[in-house]
Amino acid sequence: MKFRRDSERLETKRFVQSIPPRANADFTPGATVHGLVLGSTREDTTVIDLASGALVRWRIGWPEGIDSDLRLFGVVEAIVADEPADDDLAQPEAVTIEGLPRQVGTYSGRSIRKLLARIVAPSDGPLFGFRGPSAPYWEFRGDRPSAALLVADRGPQLLRRPEDGSTWVRFGFELDDVWLLCEDQHAIRAIDAARRMSLAGKELAIALGFKPTYVLASLSQPIDGHCYKICTGILPRY
């Protein structure tokens, strides 16, 4: 079994290395694109575009009642839709995908660390350019990112709010005490299994199965006219 897994990983690595490099992510209708999954929800899937190294948000039309089954660090192949809807000023990295993506395999090794290091957001101001949990949709001009891979100054910590059962990620970033609604299903299942109201440090690492290093943050689609900061992934250093 181990030999089979190693063989599959080697095959995936060769596949990734065979992808022709590009200066920018390809949003051309009908283009075949490949991504390394960092976080995936029904709303969108955040990937590293393996041709350009850019952080991209794929909008996938999951069937009703079906949640995303894309795995962290999975390599996936997709087709850009004929009408890719890539003109959302609040989410300039977003592109619509035709149908469902094809899962190629799981990537591993030091190459992942290099890919992650290249896209880490700088600590040069508040997250997404504004303070607070949300901003009005009409204020966005397409000139700032809506997805970011962060290295927390403090934390992260997982918290369960008793009022509504929601899960939140708390961490320090650029002198701010940041609270993000957590939509990472692995993290939600981890705090469920631990039966705790909060997890941090070693306890969080044990619950997740890895030491958390990165927080994947995104801006939601408009809710009552506002886009909210959310967490779509807690990632290991690898």
Does CATH number 2.40.50.140 belong to domain 2-111? yes
Alpha-carbon distance of 45 to 152, in angstroms, equals 22
Give the per-residue pLDDT at 58: 96
Exposure string of 35-52, with b = 16+ CB inside 10 Å and e = fewer, is bbbbbbbebbbbbbbbbb
Give the per-residue pLDDT at 37: 97
Among 2-16, 120-134, 177-191, name the one with the lowest average pLDDT.
2-16
Using one digit for the tens of pLDDT, what is the confidence trace for 10-25? 888 889 889 999 999 9
The pLDDT > 70 percentage for the chain reads 95
pLDDT reading at 56 higher than 90 = yes
Pairing outcome for strands 212-219 and 226-236: antiparallel
Alpha-carbon distance of 215 to 128, in angstroms, equals 14
Q: What is the arithmetic mean of pLDDT over 86-112? A: 88
Query: In terms of C-beta density within 10 A (0-12 exposed, 13-18 middle, 19 or more buried), how is residue 111 classed?
Result: middle
Exposure string of 211-233, with b = 16+ CB inside 10 Å and e = fewer, is ebbbbbbbbbbbeeebbbbbbbb
Give the per-residue pLDDT at 115: 92
Give the per-residue pLDDT at 174: 79
pLDDT reading at 124 higher than 90 = no
Alpha-carbon distance of 56 to 45, in angstroms, equals 8
Give the per-residue pLDDT at 36: 97
Give the per-residue pLDDT at 4: 55
In DSSP terms, which residues pair with 32 in a beta bridge? Answer: 79
Pairing outcome for strands 154-160 and 147-151: unpaired
pLDDT reading at 114 higher than 70 = yes
Using one digit for the tens of pLDDT, what is the confidence trace for 139-189? 999 888 999 999 988 889 999 999 999 999 999 987 889 999 999 999 999
Q: What is the arithmetic mean of pLDDT over 45-51? A: 97
What values do phi and psi take at 39, rounded to 5? -165, 145
97: part of which helix (H) or strand (E)?
A: strand 94-106
The type of residue at 150 is: L
Using one digit for the tens of pLDDT, what is the confidence trace for 186-212? 999 999 999 999 999 999 999 999 999
Look at the pTM and tell me if it is higher than 0.85.
Answer: yes
pLDDT reading at 72 higher than 80 = yes
How many Cα atoms sit within 13 Å of 105 on the Cβ side?
15
Tokens 């929601």 sit at which residue? Answer: 166
pLDDT reading at 123 higher than 90 = no
In DSSP terms, which residues pair with 97 in a beta bridge? Answer: 80
Six-digit token string for 162: 């008793």
Six-digit token string for 161: 């709010």
Show me where the domains of the chain are located. Answer: 2-111, 120-236
Q: What is the arithmetic mean of pLDDT over 87-94? A: 88
Alpha-carbon distance of 167 to 182, in angstroms, equals 5
How wide is the angle at C-alpha 222 spanned by C-alphas 216 and 227, nearest 5°?
50
